[in-house]
A and B are shown apart, each in its own frame.
Chain A
């Protein structure tokens, strides 16, 4: 994942008031699509994705001073996006007074009526199959297979070793394959 502008330069510009707005525009333009698709695969609905994505960027903007440069900028941003998405789902199930499982079922039902989901039966089945996976395996699978991220990139975002990620991915594929055979 090669950014158009070096992370250090962008972070430096973001922390200076005079260059902040312009640099933020560059940051959003560089990462908006990637973060959108990452969030979309977690929360599924477009409008919810839009909410979470905007909150993610606002958090990034307000907390850029706290970015220490220990990790890469994109992995820090992906981490915020992942946390925001998972928190969003948790809050939604809490507010609706339903379990996480019930929320997953509801999300897939809504997907059938979603105009921004060009899903035919097999794509809907994929989402149903993904909903049966533990959250971490689902994340790893989506990031690797549909988001086409490399293991070392996922490793930085999820702060998990490459070996553990490979195991998660392997388990996810096996479970998905079994689901497709059974249904």
Chain B
């Protein structure tokens, strides 16, 4: 490396003295953590005073097993015997007289109940896992949709939902019967 005597070129004063500081500044400015001048420094959210202090306790209370009230049964024993005796007679009468009811079946469930169960339940099943369960090869499109799809409907759908429909290799005529 040749030694530069500094005869030919001039440098601003303190150029090398503050070079590191300027370089650091530039790196910071171009780095990941740049601030965007058009945005507010804070997004304005705040938490109520003391909120975080009571949170831990509140959570522990929610997770603590609930104590159940203990009732001394001995004092109620005499009453309990007579109530049980009367109840037994009633049950006997009903069992003997009542016609046997048919067990509840799947078809007895209201559609709304089934729908809300599916809506409210979190399914830990990925699409891939679902695909493994359902034999896709054996399923025809007609099994999934109630009405027959016209090829026109399909094309209309593609036109509305795909940006470059021209790029799809569509042979429209083959879909027409």
Contacts and interface: CB of A to CB of B under 8 A. Distances in A.
Given A28-B55, A32-B55, A33-B52, A41 B45 contact: yes
Contacts of B52: 32-33, 36
A28 B43 CA distance: 24
A135 interface: no
Given A24-B60, A122-B40, A94 B46 contact: no
Of the listed residues B36, B52, B55, the one surrounded by the most CB atoms of chain A closer than 10 A to its CB is: B55
Report, as a range, how many residues of chain A touch the other chain. Answer: 35 or more
Contacts of A41: 43, 45
Interface of A: 21, 24-25, 28-29, 32-33, 36-37, 40-41, 44, 46, 50, 53-54, 57-58, 61, 87, 91, 94, 116-120, 122-124, 126-127, 142, 144-146, 148, 150-151, 173, 176-177, 180
Given A28-B56, A41-B45, A123-B44, 18 more contacts: A28-B59, A37-B45, A44-B45, A46-B48, A54-B62, A61-B63, A91-B120, A94-B119, A116-B47, A126-B40, A126-B43, A127-B43, A146-B42, A146-B43, A150-B32, A173-B36, A176-B38, A180-B38
B18 interface: no
A29 B56 contact: yes
Contacts, number: 79
A28 B61 CA distance: 13
15 contacts: A21-B60, A28-B59, A32-B52, A32-B56, A37-B45, A46-B48, A54-B59, A61-B63, A117-B45, A117-B46, A123-B42, A142-B43, A145-B36, A146-B43, A150-B32
A178 to B, nearest CB: 10
B11 interface: no
B4 interface: no
B122 interface: yes
Report, as a range, how many residues of chain B touch the other chain. Answer: 20 to 34
Of the listed residues A21, A57, A127, the one surrounded by the most CB atoms of chain B closer than 10 A to its CB is: A57
B39 A176 contact: yes
A36 B44 CA distance: 14
A144 B39 CA distance: 14
Contacts of A54: 55, 58-59, 62
